[in-house]
Chain A
Amino acid sequence: MRTLLIGYGNSLRSDDGAGPEVARRVAELGLSDLEVIEVHQLLPEHAERISHFERVVFVDASTEEDLDKVSMTKVKASAGVPGDPHASDPAALLGWSERLFDGQAEAWLIRLPGVDLGLGEGFSETMAEAIPVAVRLIRGLCESRSRLRCVIRGMVQGVGFRPHVHHLAEELGLAGWVCNTGEGVVLEVEGGEAVLRQFLVRIEPEKPAHSVITGMESSWLEPMGFLGFEIRPSPAGGPRTAMVLPDIATCDACLDDITDSSNRRFAYPFTNCTHCGPRFSIIEGLPYDRAGTSMKGFEMCEACRTEYEDPHDRRFHAQPNACPKCGPRLEWLSSSGESLAIRGEALDFALTALRDGLVVAVKGLGGFHLMARADDEAAVERLRERKRRWAKPFALMMTSLKAVGEVCHCSEMEARLLVSPEAPIVLLDRLEKTPGIAEAVAPGAPQLGVMLPSNPLHHLLMRGLSFPVVATSGNLSDEPICTDNDEALRRLSGIADGFLVHDRPIIRHVDDSIVRVLMGREMVLRRARGYAPMPVPIEGLERPVLAVGAHLKSTVAVADRGRIFVSQHLGDLETEAASDAHQRAIRDLQRLFDIAPSVVAADLHPDYISTRLAEDSGLPLVRVQHHYAHALACLADNCLTGPALAVVWDGTGYGGDETIWGGEFLEVTDDGFERVAHLRKFPLPGGDAAAREPRRSLTGMLHEIGAIELLEDRFSATDLKVVIRMLERGINTVATSSAGRLIDGFASLLGIRQSVGFEAQAAVELEFAAAGNQGEAIPMAIIGDERPWQVDWMRCLIEIAERRVQGESTGRLAADFHQSLVSALVEVARRAGHEKVLLTGGCFQNRLLLQGAVGALKVAGFKPFWHQRVPPNDGGISCGQVVAARRSKGG
């Protein structure tokens, strides 16, 4: 959309110069289809200029008192005369543009809060903060249009919710529709992405007085070209939502109850109502009533029963309804399992232990957390040592949104997520200085995983503490999270110094979900509490399917009648505990959703536990190539159909041709896929060890191109001999086209990391090293006339090695490498010639790669798609397998 930006104001009048300053900064971004003018004031001739554009954005400083942050409003043409005779105002200019020059531009006014308009240069603190906000807003506005679909659950019908949506959409100039369905309110709005984001962050705060949102998931889809906004009639006979809802973060009303000393639920950690509380984690079977939950053992007291039976009470048929008199109670156990205190006293014990720097196991909604105060280096180190988790960052539970802002960058979108009913862990960029966060929490990591309390127990804990705590899954590394008290005592003995438990059983473990905001959209990296088991829609599914997922970060899925129910995150299937959980989840989902699969889908990998399980199921089996499943998951996540080019980059996946795939370009059609291209293969010495040691990847790459001398002294002489022998004789060595391993190899080359403590550590650090550098691509040749073409990284490797020797900075070289990957990707897309390009696989959790690829693809005229609700990593595989099984003619 051709856009004209007019920043106006007097740069000699301090804050009044904000308009031109914003214009100047936006001009530097070099956005396409955007013309920028800086002016002292608006003048009549701008009316003519405006008429040549489809959109005009006015940027001005304002001294209006109610304006305390950047505001963006739609401008309607006025037939009036501006107050100021020599200067014009946006509405009048727009009016003249329409009347005199047939202008059609849609117009926006962005106002920045002006504090100081005195004679002088430079800006007040308030304005200095507002300017970059406005720049981002404009940048967002110039992004392409999109369609946002939201499914909103809760008390959203019969409370004026649709008019609220209508009003907000109109105010923001968005087209689309809203309607009531069995699921709640479903809506689609279409417009510029920045405006859609405004819509997203404003829905909840501005909702009607009597409405309650208990869940909201959104998807960004291709625009349809809606005209106007309409309230659509409710569809007749649409699918009734199965009554299995995710666990919902504590609502404001319940929070009020537990913090009001006169309320009978004051400080009661199991408070809930129809709008919040446990669901998925306590449901044993359907129908969903108290007898089918782990609350069945608690007889409601008189008062609770009255609430439960009163249609006007907010606890009317709240199945887990409870109070201190009749409900579950807390208990504090010593490290050896001795009961030392109950109820409020137990909470006090836990608080004291945390304050003293001890490790406390806390039983929450969906499982145990291990907690330790995050500002105490020794406490965090102790937890690391005991949990045998040496490097991987820990998640934090913070006391408040304000506390989050003191250690992390937190956008409106990210803040919304933190306080949403889903309340996931949000990955946030940490500030340069993070006072009160021990180094050991996330050593060297550029991000922090942060969450806010989401159940009454966590609220009460955090209210009793003045510092954040580490809140990591209560398990040994790689095992599923503990749910049972005895099991926790057994498995976590030696880790926790004390246990804060309760007597409400957890029916199924549900970990904390992890979400990251990338490119202004949410990307679910781990789908569990708050999200599971809400379905992903799928069209054309004619038979019930079970999909058993992959191996790492596994999930399973069942699907029927247009919906895919993906299980919560189950973890790596490395241990017996994990594979037990995997099998439980399969049974669980089938039972809960009453789906008897007629086909099972599994990975092509013959040795995966999940594959074997599928083979043993007795059902017709569909084997789905790993990267094809990624591609289909991405397709389903974006409600798309092929053909499309899928760029599937991850660490590892069975290719079916004796090689390990992972740097794939697949052409996905309605019938299947074709491997269009892949990264040049190299031998990977040492099998699994290679994933832990980036230097092994590098060795394989150098061996492949005959430049082993560049390896320098990354191995001891003895080890080197062994590795070289492996390579030369092909012992325990497999060829791979893995992008993850290639990135590892470059990380090793640049001296960033030779061995890793957790998956993708080298890649994360390489990305971080590149930050702030403008990368320039080193071209990668696309070799071969026949498909699959090979993307040759040789020249890139040699050039970077040489420049490193010449002393060029690691940051610049890391940036160049990322840019090289992006540019190779676009080149393959050009050759493949599909408009839709899917970006999937774990590598596209890398912001630099994703942003670079999306930007470059758009510039080159492609439509890039990436992940939103379904994880791009192996957590999304089961979803893709379902789609494949639907497509497969076999089985």
Chain B
Amino acid sequence: MSKRIVIDPVTRIEGHAKISIFLDDEGKVSDAQFHVVEFRGFEKFCEGRMLWEMPAITARTCGICPISHLLASSKASDEILAVGVPVAADKLRRLMNLGQLTQSHALSFFHLSAPDFLIGWDAPVAKRNIVGIIQENPDLARAGIRLRQFGQEVIELLGGKKIHPSWAVPGGVRSGLTVEARDQIVSKLPEAFATTRVALDLFKGLIRKSDEEVQNIGKFDSLFMGLVGSNGEWEHHGGLLRFSDSKGEIIADKISAQDYKDHIGEAVQNSSYLKSPYYKPMGFPDGMYRVGPLARLNVCDFMGTPQADAELEEYRANWGGRAVTSCYLYHYARLIEILCCLEKIEKLMDDPDLFSKRLRADAGINNLRGVGVSEAPRGTLFHDYTVDENGVIQAVNMIIATGQNNLAMNRSVFEIAKKYVTGPEIPEGVLNRVEHGIRNFDPCLSCSTHAVGKMPMKVRLLGPGGQVLDELTRDG
């Protein structure tokens, strides 16, 4: 007799998402899937537009990480112009991306994930949210919001207060930093550092008592991918792609973005409309890889800033060296990345190039195809454009971080379900862990799927014949 289990929906990720857990004849979990419905319409929408418009248009796809799209798009466009951007423009783009990483990670940590580990796994859902944090620890909630705001200010000081800055352009950027803006950033850095430090200490304290979560909330083997700098350092905007495995071995290195198709395949699964990229040489689904903070810390040799490097050393020493495989540690990795971003921002503040007037390389259409890659907060983002001689877009392919993590998210849910789901009755604490398994990845589906109106979350439990045993929907 098949069993039917109801699981609360994933409450704190964006997009139209569904989780299905499959039971076999013995009532054991046999598979799990995280489905998202993707609109392919956006890539179609871009066809026929001018290349010059692309950074601004693609930035409008997403309200969470517009900057990542802006930068990936600009880099793809640079390739089509066949130009190198001026030194100052590269630094300014980096500065903006550092702001983006900081604000996005702050949201994920303080706002979306912290309630679980601060309020407690078994607390009722009504309490286990940011309001709970506000009640328990208002200072932390405030600090988290202000850290996010700091990142946002860096973006605004460069791009203006426009909804989506059309600041980065093919060949460079439109404007540099002003001295006043620099001073404003400098004045706010100390608080940002302090908040990050508080969060790191807090998390390191919690994690010592959280071995169960580390072991069970998505610990599995996979490949990792991310950009790495020319000296093997952590990278977020330049550099080349690297794959490593769960033994910490580098299995492919120095891959140019233009060649991504030789290394990455895109499978389409019926259960999800989201493309599932995989590492091509290992085939589907064995070529499952993870991107994002956890992956970036695994593939790099070192961070490149003193405080972050010290943290990286401690992190690796305690949690698996060059191959940290528990998804629960995505949070930890995020905090180390924030620290690294702040250090890099601080260093850039002394760089006279930021005030340069030489910011943009002019050129016409010199290549008919260009691929841009940038590290978005959630992982590597690809923009692949084909244009005609006039710069009119003929085809667009975008690979987003959440898509690349799709297989790993399924696996994560599966591992958690396998561990905790043993029958139709599941206590809420277990459901919370399933949700959290997804939340570790901080999936943002707003660029692959847009939140229009209410967004119901569904968790379904399916029997061996594919029959729906139970289904629970919570309105968005």
Interface, chain A (partner B; CB < 8 A): 10-13, 16, 20, 37-41, 43-45, 47-48, 63, 79-81, 83-87, 95-96, 99-101, 117, 119-120
Would you give the shortest CB distance from B402 to chain A, in whole angstroms? 12
> Which of B39, B111, B451 has the most CB atoms of chain A within a 10 A radius of its CB?
B451
Tell me the B109-140 residues at the A interface (CB within 8 Å): 111-112, 129-131, 134, 138
Q: A39-B63, A44-B111, A120-B45 are in contact. Are A99 and B134 (CB under 8 A)?
A: yes
Closest 3 CB pairs of A and B: A40-B63, A85-B12, A83-B476
> Are B107 and A86 within 8 A (Cβ)?
yes
Contacts of B45 in A (CB 8 A): 12, 119-120
Would you give the shortest CB distance from A51 to chain B, in whole angstroms? 10
Stretch in contact with the other chain, from B160-168, B302-310, B359-367: B160-168
> Which residue of chain A has its CB nearest to the CB of B474?
A83
A525–B144 alpha-carbon span in the complex (Å): 59
> Which residue of chain A has its CB nearest to the CB of B135?
A99
Contacts of A85 in B (CB 8 A): 11-14, 112
Contacts of A13 in B (CB 8 A): 450, 452
Would you give the shortest CB distance from B149 to chain A, in whole angstroms? 4
> Which residue of chain A has its CB nearest to the CB of B115?
A81
> Are A43 and B107 within 8 A (Cβ)?
yes
> Which residue of chain B has its CB nearest to the CB of A97?
B145
A43–B146 alpha-carbon span in the complex (Å): 12
B141 an interface residue at 8 Å Cβ cutoff? yes
> Are B145 and A45 within 8 A (Cβ)?
yes
Tell me the B418-459 residues at the A interface (CB within 8 Å): 444, 446, 450-455
Stretch in contact with the other chain, from B54-62, B197-205, B259-267, B317-325: B54-62
Cross-interface CB contact of A79 among B12, B131, B138, cutoff 8 Å: B131
Q: A83-B454, A85-B12 are in contact. Are A100 and B138 (CB under 8 A)?
A: yes
Contacts of B152 in A (CB 8 A): 43, 45
Could you pull out 12 A-B pairs where Cβ atoms are within 8 angstroms? A12-B45, A12-B60, A39-B63, A40-B60, A41-B64, A44-B111, A44-B130, A83-B475, A84-B14, A85-B13, A86-B13, A120-B45
> Which residue of chain A has its CB nearest to the CB of B143?
A100
A237–B14 alpha-carbon span in the complex (Å): 65
> Are B454 and A40 within 8 A (Cβ)?
no
> Which residue of chain B has its CB nearest to the CB of A12?
B60
Would you give the shortest CB distance from B68 to chain A, in whole angstroms? 13
Contacts of A100 in B (CB 8 A): 134, 138, 141-142, 145
A80–B129 alpha-carbon span in the complex (Å): 9
> Which residue of chain A has its CB nearest to the CB of B152?
A45
A880–B450 alpha-carbon span in the complex (Å): 64
Contacts of A45 in B (CB 8 A): 103, 145-146, 148-149, 152
Cross-interface CB contact of B163 among A20, A86, A95, A117, cutoff 8 Å: A20
Q: A39-B63, A80-B131, A84-B455 are in contact. Are A48 and B450 (CB under 8 A)?
A: no
A360–B164 alpha-carbon span in the complex (Å): 64
B465 an interface residue at 8 Å Cβ cutoff? no
> Which of B11, B12, B130, B142 has the most CB atoms of chain A within a 10 A radius of its CB?
B130
Contacts of B103 in A (CB 8 A): 45
A16–B450 alpha-carbon span in the complex (Å): 11
B193 an interface residue at 8 Å Cβ cutoff? no
> Which residue of chain A has its CB nearest to the CB of B439?
A85
Contacts of B130 in A (CB 8 A): 44, 81, 96
Q: A11-B163, A13-B450 are in contact. Are A40 and B66 (CB under 8 A)?
A: yes
Would you give the shortest CB distance from A46 to chain B, in whole angstroms? 9
How many residues from B make CB contacts under 8 Å with A?
A: 46
> Which residue of chain A has its CB nearest to the CB of B150?
A45
Q: A48-B146, A86-B107, A86-B446 are in contact. Are A63 and B453 (CB under 8 A)?
A: yes
> Are A12 and B57 within 8 A (Cβ)?
yes
> Which residue of chain B has its CB nearest to the CB of A36?
B161
> Which residue of chain A has its CB nearest to the CB of B446?
A86
Q: A43-B107, A48-B149, A87-B63 are in contact. Are A81 and B163 (CB under 8 A)?
A: no
Tell me the B275-303 residues at the A interface (CB within 8 Å): none
> Which residue of chain A has its CB nearest to the CB of B146?
A48
Contacts of B64 in A (CB 8 A): 41, 86
B41 an interface residue at 8 Å Cβ cutoff? yes
Q: A40-B63, A84-B455 are in contact. Are A119 and B145 (CB under 8 A)?
A: no
> Which residue of chain A has its CB nearest to the CB of B61?
A12
Q: A45-B149, A63-B453, A100-B134 are in contact. Are A40 and B163 (CB under 8 A)?
A: yes
> Are B131 and A119 within 8 A (Cβ)?
no
> Which residue of chain A has its CB nearest to the CB of B104?
A86
> Are B145 and A84 within 8 A (Cβ)?
no
A86–B455 alpha-carbon span in the complex (Å): 12
> Are B164 and A40 within 8 A (Cβ)?
yes
> Which of A47, A85, A120 has the most CB atoms of chain B within a 10 A radius of its CB?
A85
> Are B451 and A84 within 8 A (Cβ)?
yes
> Which of A39, A40, A87, A96 has the most CB atoms of chain B within a 10 A radius of its CB?
A40
Would you give the shortest CB distance from A751 to chain B, in whole angstroms? 45
Q: A12-B57, A101-B142, A119-B39 are in contact. Are A44 and B148 (CB under 8 A)?
A: yes
> Are A41 and B63 within 8 A (Cβ)?
yes
Contacts of A117 in B (CB 8 A): 452-453
Contacts of A11 in B (CB 8 A): 60, 163
Tell me the B62-85 residues at the A interface (CB within 8 Å): 62-64, 66
Q: What 10 additional pairs, Cβ within 8 angstroms, besides A85-B14, A85-B112, A119-B42?
A: A12-B42, A12-B57, A39-B63, A44-B144, A44-B148, A48-B145, A85-B13, A86-B14, A96-B145, A100-B145
Would you give the shortest CB distance from A556 to chain B, in whole angstroms? 60
Would you give the shortest CB distance from B236 to chain A, in whole angstroms? 21
Would you give the shortest CB distance from B450 to chain A, in whole angstroms? 6
Would you give the shortest CB distance from B341 to chain A, in whole angstroms? 17
Contacts of B446 in A (CB 8 A): 41, 86
Contacts of A44 in B (CB 8 A): 107, 111, 130, 144-145, 148
Indicate with 1 or 0, residue by residue over B27-59, a CB within 8 angstroms of chain A CB atoms: 000000000000101100100000000000100
> Are B149 and A96 within 8 A (Cβ)?
no
Contacts of B162 in A (CB 8 A): 38
A16–B60 alpha-carbon span in the complex (Å): 12
Would you give the shortest CB distance from A498 to chain B, in whole angstroms? 61
Would you give the shortest CB distance from A23 to chain B, in whole angstroms? 8
Contacts of A48 in B (CB 8 A): 145-146, 149
Contacts of B142 in A (CB 8 A): 100-101
Contacts of A38 in B (CB 8 A): 162-163
A95–B141 alpha-carbon span in the complex (Å): 13
Would you give the shortest CB distance from A779 to chain B, in whole angstroms? 35
Contacts of B146 in A (CB 8 A): 45, 48
> Which residue of chain A has its CB nearest to the CB of B148?
A45
Cross-interface CB contact of B451 among A47, A87, A96, A119, cutoff 8 Å: A87
> Which of A38, A39, A47, A83 has the most CB atoms of chain B within a 10 A radius of its CB?
A83
A45–B161 alpha-carbon span in the complex (Å): 14
> Which of A99, A100, A117 has the most CB atoms of chain B within a 10 A radius of its CB?
A100
Would you give the shortest CB distance from B260 to chain A, in whole angstroms? 25
A84–B445 alpha-carbon span in the complex (Å): 11
A47–B62 alpha-carbon span in the complex (Å): 20
Contacts of B12 in A (CB 8 A): 85
> Are B131 and A43 within 8 A (Cβ)?
no
> Are B62 and A40 within 8 A (Cβ)?
yes
Contacts of A16 in B (CB 8 A): 452
A467–B76 alpha-carbon span in the complex (Å): 64
Would you give the shortest CB distance from B166 to chain A, in whole angstroms? 12
A730–B13 alpha-carbon span in the complex (Å): 87
Q: A43-B148, A87-B63, A96-B145 are in contact. Are A81 and B129 (CB under 8 A)?
A: yes
> Which residue of chain B has its CB nearest to the CB of A80?
B131
A648–B300 alpha-carbon span in the complex (Å): 79
> Which residue of chain A has its CB nearest to the CB of B58?
A12
Q: A10-B63, A84-B14, A86-B107 are in contact. Are A37 and B161 (CB under 8 A)?
A: yes
Contacts of B475 in A (CB 8 A): 83
A120–B60 alpha-carbon span in the complex (Å): 11
> Which residue of chain A has its CB nearest to the CB of B108?
A86
A43–B14 alpha-carbon span in the complex (Å): 13
